[in-house]
Amino acid sequence: MYPTGHYGVALILAAPFAFFLGRKTGTVFSSFVLLTAVLPDLDKHLPVVTHHGVTHTFLFAVVAGIAVGAVGAAAFWAYVASSATSRWSNLTPKQVFTWATAGAFLGVASHVVADVLVLLPGTQPVSPFWPVFDRKLSVEVVPLGAPVRNAVLLVAGFVAQTLAFRYGPG
């Protein structure tokens, strides 16, 4: 799938969280999910892993989530420790860990889901549940060409986010 489609699915999955988090926090959270949604495709640039391999599994989503959460919490802790007056003083490193882990998990998981939904011609299907079971999954949700499907998902993502922003509690 193209990055556009990945952003679309990430926005769709982040929308319910954005709804409950409210406008400001919800926007920060959705942006974070967007950023992490492209992590699995770094496998294209790594010599040892195959594309659509281990980084395209829910297991990797959990591992990457915890790793990003730990790095985020450590960076936040260092930032708070080095600055006398923090405008983020209402946050604790534990909360940063929780949210960064949840956001990165959701971002990576959305990527895996998106690659199941739209498989680009000439690429291998992904095995999201590896190593529990190795079955390769692909679903043709929208029977249109890959560019159209990617665009449809991106538009759906923006619609979902707009609805969350418009009708969220605050």
Q: Which residues bind Zn ion (CB under 5 A)?
A: 40-41, 115
Rounded to an integer, what distance in angstroms lies between the CA atom of residue 109 and that of residue 91? Answer: 26
Q: Which phi and psi (to 5°) does residue 162 adopt?
A: -65, -45
CB of 11 to Zn ion, least distance (A): 16
The answer to whether the beta carbons of residues 143 and 39 sit under 8 Å apart is: no
CB of 52 to Zn ion, least distance (A): 6
Nearest residue (CB) to Zn ion, 19 versus 60: 60
Nearest residue (CB) to Zn ion, 50 versus 162: 50
Nearest residue (CB) to Zn ion, 96 versus 116: 116
CB of 161 to Zn ion, least distance (A): 21
The answer to whether the beta carbons of residues 120 and 146 sit under 8 Å apart is: yes
CB of 103 to Zn ion, least distance (A): 18
Nearest residue (CB) to Zn ion, 68 versus 164: 68
Nearest residue (CB) to Zn ion, 26 versus 40: 40
Written as six digits, the tokens of 44 are 């294209």
CB of 88 to Zn ion, least distance (A): 33
